[in-house]
Amino acid sequence: MTMLEVRDLTVTYRYGGASLAAVRSVGFTLDGGEILGVAGESGSGKSTMALSLVRLLPPGAGITGQVLFHGEDLTTATWGKLRAVRWAQASLVFQGAMNALNPVRSVGEQIAEPIRLHERVDHRAIGRRVADLLDSVGVSSRRASAYPHELSGGQRQRVMIAMALACRPDLIIADEPTTALDVMVQAQILQLLTDLVAQSDIAVIMISHDLAMLADTCDRLAVMYAGRLVESGPAGQVFAEPRHPYTQALSRAFPRVGDPTSRRAPASLPGEPPALGAVGDGCAFAPRCSLVMPDCLTRDIEPWPSGPGREAACLLVLPDPAVVGEDGPRVGERHPRVGASD
């Protein structure tokens, strides 16, 4: 059974009387031992998608579709079930470890906390687990008694990863885990995550705005724009031969791994993503697309096969964009897709 299968996931936030979609009809699958990279500019819905997988959304947010984790739909799971899943089976690593760690408790105590909450283990065994966890993320176990401010930024991010690993999860969702770190430390942290995946059967969803960095670290890439998955496929291919014009612009924006200069505004891509709710019937990327065609302003297709194991939501991947028949792709939002992609 596939570890994680996301189908037609849509997430809305409430603005006054309106519910505006921040994630629109997203679908993908993920197996143990795989790293899926999720790329896209700031505001494209990456964090919302990540949080919705384990239903950590703020009050008022709405979620439809399915998140099948080991076959069980988390969008309708009870709170008791969700509590058990968080930490114990699926855990999150956020950006900005300094803010996420408690400044007045030692890092060892903080790593021990999820173990204490979710498992019946005695004091000594917990101490050993904490020491092992610190070792596995490359922090000396003697540092267990240190407070967050006594550690470097990279060490704190390693501690966050140790916390995420504490209850031996199957799935780690890492939301821009290295954004606040310098390039050398970023590379080390990413290497650590890839080693952990290689050694175990953990699956990782790695979120970043930096496509080149993800192409280097991940098995598969998924690119988000205005809440939709516009392209997905094997990481190297998606980066080297992008099919969607948005991915093409992103890959030009991040020619090198961890390029810090092009973080928020890709130089080759003028303009900004649309505001929530400002997406009409056409493709959300059309206003910024250098290859835009008249049809793009009225038609927004679902992700469609664009090569072996690849999909792109762009009319350009269709053999003949003018043809939409029985066998053609459905239009995006009005006929949300139900199948999974891989």
- Residues in contact with Mg ion by CB under 5 A are 46-47
Dmax of the chain from CA atoms? 68
Report if residue 163 touches ligand ADP, rule: CB under 6 A: no
Provide CB contacts within 8 A for 230, sequence distance 6+: 223, 224, 244, 246, 247, 285, 303, 312, 313, 314
CA distance 196 to 191: 9
Q: Render 274-305 in DSSP notation, one character per residue.
A: PPTT---SS-TTGGG-TT--GGGGT--BPPEE
User: Judged by CB under 6 A, which stretch of 39-47, 84-92, 293-301, 325-333 contacts ligand ADP?
Assistant: 39-47
CA distance 322 to 180: 45
**In the complex, minimum distance from the CB of residue 112 to ligand ADP, in angstroms, rounded to a whole number:** 30
**Half-sphere exposure of 83 toward its Cβ, with a 13 Å CA cutoff?**
6
**In the complex, minimum distance from the CB of residue 133 to ligand ADP, in angstroms, rounded to a whole number:** 27
- Measured from the CB atom, the residue of 42 and 99 that comes closer to ligand ADP is 42
- Measured from the CB atom, the residue of 129 and 209 that comes closer to ligand ADP is 209
- Measured from the CB atom, the residue of 274 and 336 that comes closer to ligand ADP is 274
Torsions phi, psi of 8, nearest 5? Answer: 50, 45
Q: Which of residues 218-277 bind ligand ADP (CB under 6 A)?
A: 276
Q: Which of Mg ion, ligand ADP, none lies near 169, with the C-beta cut-off 5 to 8 A by kind?
A: none
Q: Which tokens in the block code for residue 242?
A: 């992008």
Q: Which of Mg ion, ligand ADP, none lies near 58, with the C-beta cut-off 5 to 8 A by kind?
A: ligand ADP
Q: Which of 5, 7, 37, 45 binds ligand ADP (CB under 6 A)?
A: 45
Report if residue 37 touches ligand ADP, rule: CB under 6 A: no
Report if residue 22 touches ligand ADP, rule: CB under 6 A: yes
Report if residue 46 touches ligand ADP, rule: CB under 6 A: yes
**In the complex, minimum distance from the CB of residue 279 to ligand ADP, in angstroms, rounded to a whole number:** 11
Residues facing 206 on adjacent strands: 37, 174
CA distance 164 to 173: 9
Report if residue 44 touches ligand ADP, rule: CB under 6 A: yes
- Measured from the CB atom, the residue of 24 and 46 that comes closer to Mg ion is 46
Report if residue 40 touches ligand ADP, rule: CB under 6 A: yes
- Measured from the CB atom, the residue of 100 and 131 that comes closer to ligand ADP is 100
Provide CB contacts within 8 A for 130, sequence distance 6+: 108, 111, 112, 115, 141, 144, 162
Q: Which of Mg ion, ligand ADP, none lies near 22, with the C-beta cut-off 5 to 8 A by kind?
A: ligand ADP
- Measured from the CB atom, the residue of 51 and 139 that comes closer to ligand ADP is 51
CA distance 13 to 332: 20
Report if residue 6 touches ligand ADP, rule: CB under 6 A: no
**Half-sphere exposure of 175 toward its Cβ, with a 13 Å CA cutoff?**
18
- Measured from the CB atom, the residue of 144 and 224 that comes closer to ligand ADP is 224
How buried is residue 236: exposed, middle or buried, by Cβ count under 10 Å (0-12/13-18/19+)? middle
Residues forming the site for ligand ADP (CB under 6 A):
13, 22, 40, 42-48, 58, 276
